Structure 1
Amino acid sequence: MPSVTGPVVQPLTPPAGSTINFGATVTGIDIENLTDADFAIICEALFTHQVLIFKGQSHVTPRTQYELTNRFDPAATSYGHGKTVDAKRSILHPDLKTIPHQPQVQVIGNGFVPEYEGLKNIQLRHPHHKTFHATTIPETDDLTHTRFYRWHIDAAFYGLAPPIVTTLLAVKVPSGRRQICRYDDGSGDELSVPLGTTAFVSSYTSYDILSPPDQEFARTTKVEYAPHPYIWMSGAKSRPDGLGMVSEGKEIPLEDLPPIEEDKVQILPMCWKNPVTGKLALQVHPSAIRKLHLGDGTIVEDLKEVRDVVHRLQRPGIGPEHVYAHDWEEGDFVLFYNRGVLHSVVGAFAESEVRLFRQCNVAASELPVGPDEE
């Protein structure tokens, strides 16, 4: 039914031991019946809180999900991850199933689904760290322990501007057990998480907790992303904390990638400015990076050095106290500011545990704004 009193935005209460200062629940609203006034409140709340949670939205259609996602940037027309002439080599390829009647919306999850929104007999695969990380948790611990799969931004980083928002709808959610998410990076850090959580961290916090010299470095540095990054990185493996790649020379050589159009290679600020608050986010996709362009004109091309620098800057921001691990319930509709948070798939499911979600993001019409831009 249409909202009567309008949306009520309630910031999340951090759990014991947490310092999260982002995220909010939104009540008093039906996404199928948004007014312009409702949307204005949601829009400001998104830029303020980064992650918005709407409960009880199972009835939201794929069309409405796309229309809401696109409403944040009506000039946007492309899919969020775009298409590539060589999609089957992309590391994203196995994880996404497209809804035939609403191709901007993908189905993700785990297990066998006989039929859903025009898709038939689909086998969903929840990304598991053993397919992407250089080291793995022992098989005997697989159902009790897990890792952050890949901290990332939803974006093509080649030719298409990073989406402003991503929307996720939980259609079917296994429940009951929790897992211990391990960092396995020598820190001893770990975090108890709900099964199949989506983990978020604020990139504003990641910037704010840097030392003043590191903040200056981040403000004045730009990041060059690899062409066709999800194909380029397909031979490489991730660090155990899911924050970037191990440098073993396993990236696909540039000459073996699909044709590269130089004007589509993206060099973006390391810090992205929030359009409402003006705050700076340390917003870097650590797996897709290839070079750093420093403020003095120096270009750092050594891939291991580039990765080590970015990991050192971003690692404090994914500490357990800064992670919001959403405990999904069926009907949860989560909208997050893709230019202000990093997020990660988490968890390991048994084959019999079926999880079904819908995801939508749309490549933006403009690139993100850096510290000194308007």
Structure 2
Amino acid sequence: MAIELVSLPLPPSADASKFADFGKEVRGVNPGALSEDEFKQIEELLYKHSALLFRDCELTPEQQYALTKAFDPTSENYGHGNNKTEGTKKSILHPDLKTIPRVPQVQLIGNGTVHDHEGLAEAKLKHPSHTTFHKTRVSPADEAAGATRFYRWHIDAALYDLNPPRVTTLYGLVVPQGTPQVCRYDDGTGDVLPVPLGTTAFVSGKTMFDILPPELKSLAVRTRVRYAPHPYVWMSAAHAMPTGLGIESEGLELSYDELPPWKEEAVKTLPVLWKNPVTGALHFQVHPCGAAELIVAPLPAGAKREGALYPDGAHIKDLKTVRELLYKMQRPAIAPALVYPHDWREKDLVVFHNRGVLHSVVGAFAPDQVRAFHQCNLAASDEPAGPSAEDVERWA
């Protein structure tokens, strides 16, 4: 049976014209047992479409790990390191992940208590919610009526020492059904997005760059981001913005000397734009919560200076300025019409290009609602490629 592609089930809120190339459902293959030729087709499709959905999969942790590893055969460790999350319980990721003992690259995530699961006698899972991370929260009364928020827009990446994974695989084992919710942006725009309960929301990094005005395209193509050491520990006392797109500047981040031991050479400085290895497109790929500094290259010789931002280059260390610039560039792409909120079914497998999309957990579950997913991503064998000299000439 030949591989068949079907459009993703877009919600009425989505602008279909912006999803012409984003996301496909794949039929006709078993993702847990791909032939070499089938995998090559799937690999190319992933980089072209950013997210692939496989329905009704039977997938063991070993098969999920093997599939994920096939995209980067020399990778070995889970994206944040095997059997650890930043090596400390201070990390904000620590409560969200439980490692499958025999396949430490695969994590059990979800909500509620799971018994006798893949070598885990008991796993108490907690679906991360904006109520514990944002500066403000939806009121309990509004939450009871179905209002919620994005938790945190991000890329799956340690952002320290380890390279950002190329792909993430997410497999739904137990998916509770319930009343849909309304995701509120609560940023003064009035934006809201109807979402299925417990959706994973995706946006395209390519679209994030494509819709920018020329002066912000110029800034993006010339800029690199320096992330904080141990960023998930660094931000552990801070609060997120109501859109989940970055941190409020309240001075609550830990000072660098309060962090676990760190080395300068392990600190990550990455391009704002990551180049797609198949299409050559540029994807705006910044984890706004972990960003600490921006390093802007000057305009290339002969470039138009009128209206340009930082034409002579800059090293921006003021955290508030860093966050405001990133928010200005990233916020347009999480508008309701540009978000794909996946409506999970049991045995859904979503494979996404972690270097081409941003995603967010959404919503909240009651303590007794059991949800169980397997997640796998692997710290990559290389850093993401940034814009080429030709890209800089074109966009700067």
318 and 358 in structure 1: CA distance in 2 versus 1, 3 angstrom threshold: same
Contact 1:6 1:38 in 2 (8 A): no
Return the match for 1:186 from 165, 185, 188: 188
Contact 2:79 2:377 in 1 (8 A): yes
Q: Secondary structure at the match of 1:102?
A: coil
Distance 1:368 1:101 in 2: 30
Contact 2:32 2:67 in 1 (8 A): no
Contact 1:9 1:45 in 2 (8 A): no
Aligned residue in 1 for 2:172: 170
Contact 2:85 2:93 in 1 (8 A): no
Aligned residue in 1 for 2:78: 79
Return the match for 1:307 from 320, 323, 348: 323
Distance 2:376 2:315 in 1: 35
String of CA shifts for 1:297-351, please: whole Å, max 9, x gaps. Answer: 4210000100010001000000000000000000000000000000000011112
Distance 1:335 1:217 in 2: 31
Return the match for 2:345 from 321, 329, 348: 329
Aligned residue in 2 for 1:95: 96
Return the match for 1:145 from 134, 144, 147: 147
Q: Which deviates further from its counterpart, 79-88 or 252-261?
A: 79-88
The alignment status of 1:65 with 2:67, answered yes or no, reads no
The alignment status of 1:270 with 2:260, answered yes or no, reads no
Aligned residue in 2 for 1:12: 8
Return the match for 2:366 from 338, 350, 353: 350
TM-aligned CA deviation for residue 167 of structure 1: 0.3
Aligned residue in 2 for 1:136: 137
Distance 2:189 2:125 in 1: 33
Q: Which deviates further from its counterpart, 162-171 or 10-19?
A: 10-19
Distance 1:266 1:129 in 2: 27
Contact 2:80 2:86 in 1 (8 A): no
84 and 200 in structure 1: CA distance in 2 versus 1, 3 angstrom threshold: closer
Distance 1:60 1:161 in 2: 26
Distance 1:293 1:136 in 2: 33
331 and 176 in structure 1: CA distance in 2 versus 1, 3 angstrom threshold: same
The alignment status of 1:214 with 2:216, answered yes or no, reads yes
TM-aligned CA deviation for residue 18 of structure 1: 1.4
One-letter code of the match for 2:71?
F
Distance 1:120 1:373 in 2: 54
Aligned residue in 1 for 2:336: 320
Contact 2:85 2:94 in 1 (8 A): no
TM-aligned CA deviation for residue 219 of structure 1: 0.2
1:108-123 matched pairs, under 5 angstroms? 108-123=109-124
Q: Secondary structure at the match of 2:32?
A: helix
TM-aligned CA deviation for residue 15 of structure 1: 3.4
One-letter code of the match for 1:135?
T
TM-aligned CA deviation for residue 37 of structure 1: 1.2
Aligned residue in 1 for 2:229: 227
Contact 1:11 1:49 in 2 (8 A): no
Contact 2:107 2:376 in 1 (8 A): yes
In the superposition, the TM-score normalised over structure 1's length comes to 0.96
- In the alignment, structure 2 segments of 5+ residues that lack a partner are 299-312, 391-396
Distance 1:89 1:77 in 2: 25
1:193-204 matched pairs, under 5 angstroms? 193-204=195-206
One-letter code of the match for 1:51?
A
Q: Secondary structure at the match of 1:234?
A: coil
Distance 2:231 2:2 in 1: 42
Contact 2:33 2:63 in 1 (8 A): no
Contact 1:166 1:360 in 2 (8 A): yes
Equivalences, count: 369
TM-aligned CA deviation for residue 12 of structure 1: 2.5
Contact 1:151 1:343 in 2 (8 A): yes
Aligned residue in 1 for 2:393: none
Distance 1:238 1:225 in 2: 16
One-letter code of the match for 2:359?
H
56 and 94 in structure 1: CA distance in 2 versus 1, 3 angstrom threshold: same
TM-aligned CA deviation for residue 77 of structure 1: 1.8
TM-aligned CA deviation for residue 84 of structure 1: 5.9
One-letter code of the match for 2:101?
P
TM-aligned CA deviation for residue 373 of structure 1: 6.7
Aligned residue in 2 for 1:285: 287
24 and 93 in structure 1: CA distance in 2 versus 1, 3 angstrom threshold: same
What percent identity do the matched residue pairs reach? 53
Contact 1:172 1:357 in 2 (8 A): yes
TM-aligned CA deviation for residue 258 of structure 1: 1.0
Q: Which deviates further from its counterpart, 6-15 or 127-136?
A: 6-15
TM-aligned CA deviation for residue 86 of structure 1: 4.0
RMSD over equivalenced CA pairs, Å: 1.3
Aligned residue in 2 for 1:368: 384
Aligned residue in 2 for 1:33: 33
TM-aligned CA deviation for residue 79 of structure 1: 1.5
Distance 2:180 2:28 in 1: 30
Distance 1:327 1:84 in 2: 28
Contact 1:171 1:357 in 2 (8 A): yes
Q: Secondary structure at the match of 2:386?
A: coil
